[in-house]
Every structure is written in structure tokens, then in C-alpha cells.
Amino acid sequence: MAKFELKLPKMGESVAEATVTNWLKNIGDTIEADEPVLEIATDKVDSEVPSEVDGVLVEILFNTDDVVQVGQTMAIIETNSDTDAVDTPQSDQEATDSVKQVAATVTAAKETVSAAVVVSSTQGRFYSPLVKKMAQKENILQAELDAIPGTGKDGRVSKNDMLTYIKNRGAGALVSKSVAEPTKAAPVSVNGGDEIIEMTRMGKLIAHHMVASVQTSAHVQSFIEADVTNIWNWRKKVKASFMTREGENLTFTPIFMEAVAKALKDFPMMNIALDGDNIIKRKNINLGMAAALPGGNLIVPVIKNADQLNLVGMTKAVNDLAARARDNKLKPDDIQGGTYTVTNVGTFGSIMGTPIINQPQVGILALGAIRKVPAVIETPDGDFIGIRYKMFLSHSYDHRVVNGALGGQFVKAVADYLESWDVNKEI
């Protein structure tokens, strides 16, 4: 018999910890290789952790809602074969030492978890030693620390909350006077007929990220109306044959994403990120695509190297990510590395919107609903009134690094690509 340590795998860029949300297996259960053992949640995505070996679950080191660091052992699985174990004991003495090491790991893990709740503020709020240490290093006073919004369990301040706050604090987004005397929300009265609904974990995270984005970026919007009649007619003509040949439904989204990718190549200073006083010019064009989840929340899967995809490839990527988002089957890497985001508010009937930037990006484009409207048609023989298919493009951008000229030129370029669509295009 050998013992295998099930550790929290690396979950992608900038993800250092995860919260245990549910154990799918109990102590004593038989586990097959690649079978999910537990469910975890990060500030990016929910996921399952599978077993790498066949065996029996003999020990669980973390409880539900505990925070686990990447690389920490979460459970011990007993295997039938010595070759399945990470460390194969070669003697009784070595086996004894291995057991002692496992026991020490368990003890250390328990101490880490318990230590996270022993530090409290004067307001009764709990802080982990790591958060306290970060506050001390950055000279954050207790009153200021108490004012930081927390996304952890019961409103606890996490490491990511501290990093976000420190970044905003350094950029001058928050002033010390307002922090020293934080403004508390007015109490909300509840009568007997009201229903109180607790926000979901993802809902709390989204709320936190939205507030943090508004506090970080100077949001400015530019709007433009695009005539997409050619696209409407072309798609109507080819969608049946496209489905027969490719087995994919041709929607408007990949067409719009292709236009955005082309515009980002034309205006690379929209494909950037701001880190303090440094501008990071992204090499790759990775388009985030806001997708609605069945529960009402949104998630932003990323199309990697979108500028290198033709329309067929873009269609397959869009449909795949949208389907896996609806089925909650996205992997952590699927939502990492976005450089610009597109959201389709027209799906819900809105003609335009003013989206909030997905940090640390500097721009986001909202696609409005396509409408049949009367319009002036310019021809060599004069102007005429006709029925056209049109939509509004709403571009939100960070005015700290993107001026009105660049923001307006970019969205105008997207509109130009859409309006110049070739009705005889073959794919």
C-alpha cells in the first residue's frame, strides 16, 4: 500500500489560492483515476479537482469553505500499487518517516486554517495573518483596513482584495480622508412581505470587481451607429450551407469579433493594460467574450489569438466557449489572458449600453440589438429613404491612457469593417 497526496493544482495566471466548495467523495470511498474528488472555487472560475490515481480516500485535510494555497495537499489517497505513489517507501523506517511527514503536513494545514480566524479588528472583523502583514508593510491603519471591502467568506478580506486595494491606493483612486471616516450605507428597512435573498459567491465577486473597476479607471464612452444590412443579408444566404458543411450555427457574434480583432491590429494602443505608471502593450490579441450563465451571472471566456483566426475558426471558438460556459465546463485557462472584451447587450433587446471595463484592460465594446430602421441611402443618383438593418456600438475606455480621439477612432474602425462587408464573400 502507498499513499498519494492530492494537491491543489496551478489554476492559471495570477491564481494563488482556491476555496473548497464541496467534497464529492467521503473518507473510505473508492476513487478511479481522473474521477473528480472535490469542487473548488477561485475568483476566476469554479472547477473540479480530479484524482491522478486509483485508490481509496483515507484522509481529508480541508473542510468546506476552507482556503487552500496552490501546491498544498488537500487529501490523502491510499493506492494498491507502489508505483502510483509520489514517494515510494523503500523501508519500514522510511515509511514511518513518510507517515510522520504527512501528519506534520496535516497539522500545519490545520494550524494555517485556524490561524486565519484568530486575528480580529476593533469592529469584530476577522483578518488573516497574511492580510495583517500586508497592511503593516503598506502602513495601512486599522480604520483604513476596516474600510476595505472583502470578497471572502463572511466578508473576509483576502490577499487579492488587499492587492487590488493597494494598487488603487497607490494610483490615488482612494484618498485617506475618505478612508479614515468611511461612509456607511444607509440601513435598509425590511417589512414582513419582503424576501431576503443572499447573493451567490459569484455574484459577490462580480459586484466587488465592478466597484473596483469604477474606482480604478476613468470611464468614458463613445457611440457609433453601424449599418449591418450587408451582413444581415449575407448571413441569411449562407447560414444553412454553413451548418451543413461545418456543423456549426453561424451567428453574428463571430463576425463582430473578427471586426474587433482587425480594429485592434489597426490600433494596438487599445490592446494594452495599465500597471501603475507603466503601460503594457500586449503582443497577442485575446478577445474576452461576455457570456450569460443560467443563474443570471456573467463570465468572460477568452478567444486566444483572435486575429489569427478566419471566420470558420472564430465561429467554432465562439460556439465552443459559449456552450461550455452554459454547461459550467470552462477550464481556468479559458478565462485567462484577455486583452480586450466584447459584450453583446443586444441579446437581451438593449439597443446600447455603457459597459464597465474588465480590469486590467482599458476598453470594452457593447454590441446593441440589430434593428430595422428607416435610413437615408446615398446613391450616385441621389439620396433615398429605405429600410436598413442598423445597430449601436458603445465603446467604454479608460481615459487615463486612452484619449477621446483613439477611443472614437477605434470604434469607428469596427463600424467601417462591418459596413464594408462583402455580400459575395465565400467561406
Give, in degrees to the nearest 5, the angle at Cα 118 between 116 and 120: 105
Rounded to whole angstroms, the Cα distance separating 335 from 203 reads 17
Q: Which residues fall within 8 angstroms of residue 282, CB to CB, at 6 or more apart?
A: 271, 272, 273, 339
What pLDDT is recorded for position 156? Answer: 74
Specify which residues 3 forms β-bridges with.
78
The pLDDT tens digits for 104-149 are 554 554 444 433 333 344 445 667 767 777 888 887 877 778 778 8
* Residue 264, C-alpha cell as written in the block: 485592434
User: Which of 53-57, 161-165, 239-243 bottoms out in mean pLDDT, i.e. has the lowest?
Assistant: 161-165
CB-based contacts of 397, cutoff 8 Å, min separation 6: 219, 220, 221, 222, 270, 357, 362, 363, 364, 406, 407, 410
Strands 340-344 and 363-367: parallel
CATH number for the domain whose boundaries are 2-115 = 2.40.50.100
Mean pLDDT of 198-221: 87
Burial 69-79 (b: 16+ CB within 10 A, else e): eeebbbbbbbb
Instruction: Work out the percent of the chain whose per-residue pLDDT is above 90.
Output: 47
Pairing outcome for strands 73-79 and 30-31: unpaired
User: Does residue 353 carry a pLDDT above 50?
Assistant: yes
Contact 55, 34 (CB under 8 A): no
Strand partners, 9: none
What homologous superfamily does CATH list for 220-419?
A: Chloramphenicol acetyltransferase-like domain (3.30.559.10)
Mean pLDDT of 344-361: 92
What is the pLDDT, as a whole number, of residue 269?
A: 97
pLDDT band at residue 259, thresholds of 50, 70 and 90?
Answer: very high
Is the confidence at residue 239, as pLDDT, over 70?
Answer: yes
Beta-ladder partners of 386: 375
The domains of the chain are located at 2-115, 117-175+200-216, 220-419
Question: Model pTM?
Answer: 0.63
